[in-house]
Amino acid sequence: MKYQFKQYNILPGFGLTLGYTVVYLGLLVLLPLAALTLSALQMTWPEFWSAISSQRAIRSFALTFGTSFIAAVINTIFGLLIAWCLSRMSFPGRKIIDAMIDLPFALPTAISGIALTAVYAPNGILGEPLARLGIKVAYTPIGIIIAMILVGLPFVVRTVQPVLAELERELEEAALGLGASNWQTFSKVIFPLVLPSLLTGFTLAFARNLGEYGSVVFIAGNMPMKTEITSLLIVTHLEQYDYAGATALASAMLIISFVLLLTINLLQTWSGRRLK
């Protein structure tokens, strides 16, 4: 079968739009990434390998992906809860809370980092009582996770909220009328229908967490091997004029992220296919 490239479309300018999309993505995304790959290619394989397989680098990868994943999972659970609350319940101040959800988008990340550090430091408002209980938040991976939860929150809420708002009440009524319990109605009817958007939100939050820098560096403490995320390690390399090392780490990070995001996207397509 011959692939039909030109499809009839009611909107004109298909060629122009596609061309613009390719050029735009090329200039803004692909070109810088290609330059990065190119400079990484100038290294020999052993050089590259030693740059990314040092103990410090591996620890930073594990920390970055681990904390990003945990933060994204927590955001997914509580994001769903908040989205449910905002789309299904009416209470005084709902609009204000709705608007506050977007604040982490607008806030410069350094500011949220400093604010979180102030609160969670051993002498901070929350840090002090927690320290007395023996829980250290600032300068530990828990602090990193909290910073990532803050910046990733809007993604889940904003992707799930419209889907929940459009979900017909009648579906719930039908399930309850057929004798389903509240939990069965949620798990068998509502959850499968919001799952694709939940996965989208998770992916966005996870991706954002992987690249997060500003808010994390303040609360992390940046102790090598312990609380040093990859983004920070790259900056450290740069400050020491070790461009090759920085590039190698960045490329590795890029490849792993790409593979992970692609997998999640495929998973999401699969889960969404049944809901046409």
Partner 1 sequence: MTISITNITKSFGNSKALDNISVDFTAGELTALLGPSGCGKTTLLRLVAGLEQADPGCGGRIIFNGQNVLADTAGKRKVGFVFQHYALFRHMTVFDNIAFGLRVRKKSQRPTKAEIKERVYSLLELVQLGNMADRMPSELSGGQRQRVALARALAIEPEVLLLDEPFGALDAKVRTELRRWLRQLHDKLNCTSIFVTHDQEEALEVADRVIVMNKGRIEQIGSPDEIFHQPASEFVMQFLGEVNVFHGRIESDDPQMVHFYDQTGQTDQPNARMLIRPHDLDISTEPDTDKRQIPATITKIQTAGPSVRLDCRDNNGKIVNVRISHDIFNRLQLFIGQNIFLTPKQLQIYRSGQK
The pair phi, psi for residue 136, each rounded to 5°, is -100, 125
Nearer to partner 1, 41 or 171 (CB): 171
Say if CB 220 and CB 144 are below 8 A apart: yes
User: In the stretch 174-203, what mask flags binding to partner 1 with x, by CB under 8 A?
Assistant: xxxxxxxx--x---xx--xx----------
152, 209 Cβ separation under 8 angstroms: yes
Query: With respect to partner 1, which residue has the nearer C-beta, 8 or 91?
Result: 91
Part in contact with partner 1 (CB under 8 A); list of ranges 66-74, 139-147, 150-158, 268-276: 268-276
168 binds partner 1 (CB under 8 A): yes
**Total interface residues for partner 1 by CB under 8 A:** 20
The window from 103-111, 170-178, 229-237, 259-267 that contacts partner 1 (CB under 8 A) reads 170-178
Rule CB under 8 A: say whether 135 interacts with partner 1: no
Q: Does position 269 bind partner 1 by CB under 8 A?
A: no
User: Which residues are near partner 1 by CB under 8 A?
Assistant: 168, 170-171, 173-181, 184, 188-189, 192-193, 274-276
